[in-house]
Amino acid sequence: MALVLNEEQALLKETAEQFFQEKVPVANFRKLRDSKDENGYDTAVWREIANLGFAGIMVPEQYGGTDFGPVGLGLVLEQAGRTLAATPLISTVLLAGSAIQHGGTSAQRQKYLPLIASGEIVMALALEEGAHHNPCAIATKAEAAGDNFKITGKKVFVLDGHVADVLIVAARTSGGPKDTSGITLFLVDTKNTDGLKITRTHMADHRNAAIVEFDGVSVPAANVLGSVDGGWDVLEPALDIGRIGIAAETLGLIQQVFETTVDYLKERKQFGKVIGSFQALQHRAAELFCEVELCRSVVLEALSAVEERRNDVPKLASLAKARLAEASRLITNEGLQMHGGIGMTDEYDVGLFMKRARVAAATLGDANFHRNRYAELDDY
Amino acid sequence: MDALEKFRAETREWLEANCPASMRTPMKDGEEPWGGRNAVWKNPDSKVWMERMAERGWTAPTWPKEYGGGGLSKEENMVLQQELRRIHARTPLMSFGLWMLGPALLEFANEEQKKEHIPPIVRGEIRWCQGYSEPGAGSDLAGLQTKCEDKGDHYLVNGQKIWTSYADKADWIFCLVRTDTSKKHEGISFLLIDMDQPGVEARPISMISGASPFCETFLTDAKAPKKNLVGELNKGWTIAKRLLQHERAMISGMGLGGGGGAGPGIEQAAKDYIGEENGRIADPSVRDKIVRQKMDSQAFALTMRRSAEEAKAGQGPGAASSMFKYYGTELNKRRYELLLEVMGIQGLGWEGEGFSEDELTTTRAWLRSKGNSIEGGTSEVQLNVIAKRVLELPE
């Protein structure tokens, strides 16, 4: 129930803050973007992140992780959000890592978790098929053929899809197009796989995403993650962890934009005085302050709920994801406006934060999706 | 059994024996136990319950025993509150003396004043009201003009206070008065005045809700012995500010609508008044507004809890606490607007046939809620405070 960090967590936060500020500043992200880096993330930085134990933060010690827990991972993501650090943390650690840990056979855990913890593997969740997050609306088909399944269909917005070594693919093995039952998850190797086509897409936030097409891709039955037709039981909790993780990243992002904006209000002079002395701007800044404080509370509570394995994780995941999506829209819009013309320039960071905020908001469900879900979970 | 569990067992036993059955039911209109010289006891059990609790000091459980309080530790008080909740006991005493003046007296008054004034507060014998705002001093409270002159053995007070809650029913008033006209904040003093004298007159003001909880209070050659000055002469502003913190904390809790959630059952109200389809509120736009309200409310409740935990962990009152008054009251206003929208014309009745008691109460409460973001410092003043003190934006 703690909404206050303990000593260990406070120390981790400090380590993460120092690391991202010094080693992965926004300049690092700009370099990736401007050089049209093939990987879309800094592999050297990713190795360092793994060496610090951040990649194995939710992986049990027996698989080479640090088992520091979700609150710890949230702290790392928050700091990453402050500097726009592009890493496979969400795709590989949050989504794939938690799916394998909770749904994997012991052989699958043995195989993948140590590789995740050491940062030696990148994994991606191939889930979405349309313009909006709709996790059970799956048309991609998997048909049993002897000891194999044959997958046919098309996935979009696959985070880190073009750099992934292994995909987790959600396909329909039975049921109608919107049923939660009948979904099966498959581990699919991206190397030397016939019928698999991966195309990198370029999003406004300059982070990695891809279209993945399956044309009768053959996958052995041993690669099913969880049970046949029962993939939803593995998928949904993993999605919630991903959603909370993105909320934590966004918490870092909004704080950075807010603080930068308040600093600017204290510097910029017009009409012979700093613009921060104008009440019209003061009140707007105070409103943003309230939003940041509310966001901090919901993210911390959601992370604690995961850590304590509470049954209100789904509701808190939706609360955090929806709130951070709305708050990040407000704060990046207001931040840009208060910066005036300079906020519109590519040279200034606020625009980069705005673009990232929108993509993060749309990832794993936007505010509309999560408000609807929050109400459904409470049965109204 | 450790000491705390022993305390729990004894408390439970005592409550079983001493809390009257009717005091274990929800509070009824008109039965609120305000105490005071002219107390009205619509339900005689309320008086019995208050007196029994007061005798143990449990109307003010953590205040020192020497002033009539319960002298309980934080942990013991937690146990007491749990046991009271367990039997759904009503609050034994409602009082601005308990909520606002008492804590300020404990911090700023001299020994003689504490001995004189705190025990009657605990026992519910004296009902206090707050003389702060004036017709010309609202948001700019420090601009107050009520004149206070030193007449040797007493002070002579002339002026007018306004928005004095329940002044017409109160026995004493704690007042901010001007003792130095050459300075603003440093010319204000904190004075206790007995209202049972010809120079004090309270006139109720009719509000938009139809109720008259507030008064205009006229002070015309009102007298107060000099011993009634709390703190030093011209140093009343410090006490005033501290007292406002207690008041704001009291008001901001209202946003949680008593139930701790988004207000009890707004989604059920929507199903009842609007209808449902497949278990969902039939109107998707109203449903979305309700979700937003409930999410805001949960986020706010979590922030209040986080702030309390930070304070307990010795991190001081975090910056977050500065937003409570502003956000809590705005949230409460939004909640009532939404509730009214959900209830349609049933939420717009004034009196008489065609409306349930609850519906009529909701209409009045909606109107009352508008005052939340005005009293105790307007929302605009609260935003100024955040901008200047927390964000350190310049004048």
pLDDT, one tens digit per residue, over B354-372 is 999 999 999 999 999 999 9
Please indicate whether, in this complex, the C-beta atoms of A323 and B305 are within 8 angstroms of each other. Answer: no
Q: How confident is the model at residue A4 (pLDDT cuts 50, 70, 90)?
A: confident
Average pLDDT of every residue of chain A: 96
CA B375 → CA A171, B98, B135, B204, B271, distances in Å?
A: 58, 19, 14, 17, 34
Q: In whole angstroms, what is the distance from residue B151 CA to residue A87 CA? A: 76
Neighbouring CB atoms inside 10 A of B279's CB total 9
- Residue found under tokens 């006229």: B218
Residue A106: inside a domain, yes or no?
yes
pLDDT band at B29 (very low <50, low <70, confident <90, very high): confident
Q: Say which CATH topology domain B3-94 has.
A: Butyryl-Coa Dehydrogenase, subunit A; domain 1 (1.10.540)
Reported as a pLDDT band with limits 50, 70 and 90, residue B108 is very high
Has residue A2 been placed in a domain?
Answer: no
CB contact under 8 A, B387 and A285: yes
Domain boundaries, chain B: 3-94, 128-234, 257-390
Between B265 and A191, the more confident residue is A191
Residue B262 pLDDT: 39
User: Is the pLDDT reported for residue A231 higher than 70?
Assistant: yes
Per-residue model confidence (pLDDT) at position A244: 98
Class of domain B257-390: mainly alpha
As for how many domains chain A has, the answer is 3
Put simply, the answer to whether B380 touches A286 (Cβ < 8 Å) is: no
CB contact under 8 A, A286 and B383: yes
Among A266, A277, A297, the residue with its CB nearest the CB of B395 is A277
pLDDT at B287 over 70: yes
| Residue of chain B minimizing CA distance to A371 | B291
Just give the CATH number of B128-234. 2.40.110.10
Question: Is A1 within a domain?
Answer: no
Residue pLDDT, tens place only, A18-39: 999 999 999 999 999 999 999 9
Per DSSP, the three-state class of A260 is helix
Smallest Cβ–Cβ distance between A380 and the set B280, B303, B384 belongs to B280
Burial status of residue A51 (CB atoms within 10 A of its CB: 0-12, 13-18, 19 or more): exposed
The whole-angstrom distance between B347's CA and the closest CA on chain A is 21
Judged by DSSP in three states, A105 sits in coil
Of the listed ranges A291-305, B46-60, B311-325, the one predicted with least confidence: B311-325
pLDDT of B259: 34
Which pLDDT score is estimated for B322? 81
Is the same domain home to A334 and A356?
yes
**Which residue in B267, B287, B300, B302 has the most chain A C-beta atoms within 10 A of its own C-beta, making it the best mutation to test that interface?**
B302
Domain region containing A207: 124-229
What confidence tens digit (pLDDT) does each residue in A311-350 have?
999 999 999 999 999 999 999 999 999 999 999 999 999 9
User: SS3 sequence, chain B?
Assistant: CCHHHHHHHHHHHHHHHHCCHHHHCCCCCCCCCCCCCCCCCCCHHHHHHHHHHHHCCCCCCCCCHHHCCCCCCHHHHHHHHHHHHHCCCCCCCCCHHHHHHHHHHHHHCCHHHHHHHHHHHHCCCCCEEEECCECCECCCHHHCCCEEEECCCEEEEEEEEEEEECHHHCCEEEEEEECCCCCCHHHEEEEEEECCCCCEEEEEECCCCCCCCEEEEEEEEEEEEHHHEECCCCCHHHHHHHHHHHHHHHHHHHHHCCCCCCCCCHHHHHHHHHCEECCEECCHHHHHHHHHHHHHHHHHHHHHHHHHHHHHCCCCCCHHHHHHHHHHHHHHHHHHHHHHHHHHHHHCCCCCCCCCHHHHHHHHHHHHHHHHHCCCCCHHHHHHHHHHHHCCCCC
**pLDDT bucket at B260, cuts 50 / 70 / 90:** very low
Do A240 and A358 share a domain, yes or no? yes
Collapsing DSSP to helix, strand or coil, A149 comes out as: strand
Are the Cβ atoms of A379 and B279 closer than 8 angstroms?
Answer: yes
Clarify whether residues A201 and A326 are in a common domain: no
Q: A46: domain CATH number? A: 1.10.540.10
Residues in chain B within 8 Å Cβ distance of A298: 298-299, 302
pLDDT greater than 70 at residue A168? yes
| A-to-B residue pairs, Cβ atoms closer than 8 angstroms | 119
| B254 pLDDT tier (thresholds 50, 70, 90) | low
Q: Are residues A80 and A193 in the same domain?
A: no
Residues A319 and A239 in one domain: yes
Phi and psi torsions of A301, nearest 5°: -65, -40
Domain boundary among A229, A257, A284: A229
How do residues B147-202 score in pLDDT, each as one tens digit? Answer: 999 999 999 999 999 999 999 999 999 999 999 999 999 999 999 999 999 999 99
Digit-coded pLDDT (tens) for B50-88? 999 999 999 999 999 999 999 999 899 999 999 999 999
Model pLDDT, residue B189: 98
CATH of the domain at A161: 2.40.110.10
Q: Is the pLDDT of residue B264 over 80?
A: no
Which A residues in the span 333-372 are in contact with B, Cβ-Cβ below 8 Å? 371-372
From the list A282, A293, A372, the residue facing B387 with the nearest CB is: A282
pLDDT in tens, B124-142: 999 999 999 999 999 999 9
| Shared-domain flag, residues A140 and A99 | no
Q: Do A319 and B295 touch (CB under 8 A)?
A: yes
Domain match, A238 and A365 both: yes
Q: A310 at the B interface (CB within 8 A)?
A: no
CATH number of the domain within which A304 lies: 1.20.140.10
Region class of A33: left (phi > 0), else alpha (psi between -120 and 50), else beta: alpha
Per-residue 3-state assignment (H helix, E strand, C coil) for B182-244? CCCHHHEEEEEEECCCCCEEEEEECCCCCCCCEEEEEEEEEEEEHHHEECCCCCHHHHHHHHH
What pLDDT does A160 receive? 98
Number of Cβ atoms within 10 Å of the Cβ of B331: 24
Sequence-distant (6+) residues with CB within 8 A of A100 are: A108, A109, A112, A113, A116, A225
Are A167 and A266 part of one and the same domain? no
pLDDT at B317: 62
Confidence of residue B257 (pLDDT cuts 50, 70, 90): very low
Final residue in a domain of this structure, among A59, A93, A122: A122
Of B66, B69, B45, which is closest to residue B121 (Cα–Cα)?
Answer: B69
> What tens digit of pLDDT does each residue of A77-112 get?
999 999 999 999 999 999 999 999 999 999 999 999
Q: Among A2-6, A243-247, B54-58, B207-211, whose mean pLDDT is lowest?
A: A2-6
A323 to chain B: closest CA residue: B295
Question: Are A3 and B302 a contacting pair at CB < 8 A?
Answer: yes
In a domain, A55, yes or no: yes
Residues A138 and A47 in one domain: no
| Cβ contact, residue pair A274, B386, below 8 Å | no
Chain B: residues touching A (Cβ < 8 Å) = 267-268, 270-271, 276, 279-281, 287-288, 290-292, 294-296, 298-300, 302-303, 305-306, 309-310, 313, 315, 319-320, 323, 326-327, 380, 382-384, 386-388, 390-395
pLDDT band at B258 (very low <50, low <70, confident <90, very high): very low
A322 to chain B, any CB pair closer than 8 A? The answer is: yes
Mean pLDDT for chain B? 92
Distant-in-sequence, close-in-space partners of B352: CB < 8 Å, separation ≥ 6: none
Q: B-chain residues within 8 Å CB-CB of A380?
A: 267-268, 270-271, 276, 279-281, 287, 290
Domain assignment present for A61: yes
What's the average model confidence in pLDDT over A271-284? Answer: 97
Work out the minimum CA distance from A12 to partner chain B, whole angstroms: 18
Nearest CA in chain B to A322: B295
The domain boundary residue, chosen from A122, A143, A174: A122
Using a CB-CB cut-off of 8 Å, the residues of chain A touching B271 are 380
Give the burial string for A106-129 (b: 16+ CB within 10 Å, else e): eebbebbbbbbbbbebbbbbbbbb
pLDDT at A143 over 80: yes
Which residue type, as a one-letter code, is found at position B264? P
Instruction: Render pLDDT for B229-241 as a digit per residue (tens, 0 to 9).
Output: 999 999 999 999 8
pLDDT at B253: 62
Which of B117, B128, B96, B134 shows the shortest CA–CA distance to B219?
A: B134
Residue of A265, A266, A375 lying closest to B287 (CB–CB): A375
Residue B376 has what pLDDT?
Answer: 84
What was the ipTM of the complex prediction? Answer: 0.95
Examine the pLDDT at B263 and tell me if it is beyond 80.
no
